[in-house]
Amino acid sequence: MPVPEAVVFDLDGTLLDTMTVVPAAYVRVIRELGGPDLTPQELVAAWHLGPSPAVLAHFLGRETTGDDLEHFYARMTECAAATRLFPGITGLLRALRDDGYALAVYTSATRRGVGATLARTGLTELVPVVVTGDEVARPKPAPDGLLDTCRLLGIPATAAAYVGDAETDLQCATAAGAIPVHARWSSHTISAAGFGYAAERPGDVRTLLAGLGATGATGAR
């Protein structure tokens, strides 16, 4: 296995503790736009369909309009004020950067949807490369977005680890040839057995990568 040179992170439920406020905001928007009453669990189960317009269209039973999206982004702006990084994430990112790893985010969310949150939480400074779901051809678990992220980093996907809380994240990593790491520190994390590497706490990611480097080829970090 190649020694990892970069760490790519999912956003919601991995770096950001959003798995309560964001699904609730989606549920509210869909109801306000004339869609069905949903549970947050039903909403999250459909996130693999793609970025926000695709998820909204699925539940509304029609194409989303510009007005629909403006309403949605207004609700997401409200959520941004309540969004926090998981404890330990800032320290992890700084430590990985100091260790020499390139850092990036690949999220299914849209660029507009995450812009304010990235800036407010300091992720823009810590993670210079961000690829969003509306910028890729196919959503997770397809590897497209992760492959695009690695191209921006200037490395092959086989030299990257992808850290995510959902099974689709781990499937995406596997499809791209990257190292899948299951982020298990969220209380909303689902079981994703069979993907090899698991991090119970953010700091475990650094420990895991150090272990991979130590067992890798000559010249590993």
Q: Which residues are known to be catalytic?
A: 10
Residue whose C-alpha is closest to residue 178's, from 86, 114, 102: 102
Phi-psi region of 147 (alpha: psi -120 to 50; beta: other; left: phi over 0): alpha
113 phi and psi angles, rounded to 5 deg? -65, -30
106 phi and psi angles, rounded to 5 deg? -125, 115
Six token digits for residue 83:
């969004």
* Rounded Cα–Cα distance for residues 152 and 21 (Å): 31
